[in-house]
């Protein structure tokens, strides 16, 4: 496992992943904003105040997972039920922990949660320019379904749509 700025290369324990509580909305939104700001900037946009407006409802519906490493909050994933599958609406790692395997561990933990819940597929998408994410998703068994414009229409950057059958 590669060392990150705060992670240790000799770390053997994966992060602890659990459902977040409604009371954890503020730290979850803070982490989402810090993690997504560089991504959104690369797309030529800036975060809007309403970008994470869905977070309180997602927390109340028990669809938000947090990753914790040595008691530090290091990752967030927001899921949506879609038929017999999950859509990963957002998944991110604290910028100071990126590159240390937290994202991979979070994906694997979510897959375990999904399997336990009888979920058949996990879908997600990312911008085509984020080649490091394309590689991660492919190495974790996600299959590319298609490429095309984003559904939200906020930018013109091509998205790559993935799915993993469980």
The predicted model scores a pTM of: 0.87
What is the model's pLDDT at position 4?
42
For 157, other C-beta atoms within 10 Å of its C-beta total 16
> What does the pLDDT look like over 70-120, one tens digit per residue?
889 999 999 999 999 999 999 999 999 999 999 999 999 999 999 999 999
The residues spanned by each domain of the chain are 16-165
What is the model's pLDDT at position 144?
98
How many percent of the chain have pLDDT more than 90?
73
How far is residue 164's CA from residue 166's CA, in Å, rounded to a whole number?
6
- CA distances to 108, 118, 166 from 83, in Å: 21, 11, 14
12 pLDDT band (50/70/90 cuts)?
low
Q: Is the pLDDT of residue 9 over 50?
A: no
Say yes or no: domain 16-165 is CATH 3.40.630.30: yes
- Tokens 């770390």 identify what position? 11
């Amino acid at each position: 496992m590669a060392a990150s700025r705060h992670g240790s290369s000799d770390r053997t324990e994966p992060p602890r992943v659990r459902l977040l509580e409604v009371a954890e909305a503020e730290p979850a939104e803070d982490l989402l904003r810090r993690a997504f700001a560089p991504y959104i900037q690369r797309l030529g946009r800036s975060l809007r105040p309403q970008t994470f407006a869905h977070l309180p409802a997602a927390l109340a519906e028990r669809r938000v997972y947090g990753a914790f490493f040595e008691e530090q909050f290091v990752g967030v994933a927001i899921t949506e039920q879609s038929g017999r599958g999950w859509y990963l609406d957002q998944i991110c790692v604290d910028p100071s922990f990126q590159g240390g395997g937290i994202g991979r561990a979070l994906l694997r933990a979510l897959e375990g949660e999904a399997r336990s819940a009888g979920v058949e597929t996990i879908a997600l998408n990312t911008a085509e320019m984020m080649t490091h994410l394309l590689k991660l998703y492919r190495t974790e068994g996600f299959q590319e379904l298609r490429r095309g414009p984003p559904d939200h229409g906020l930018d013109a950057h091509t998205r790559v749509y993935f799915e993993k059958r469980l």
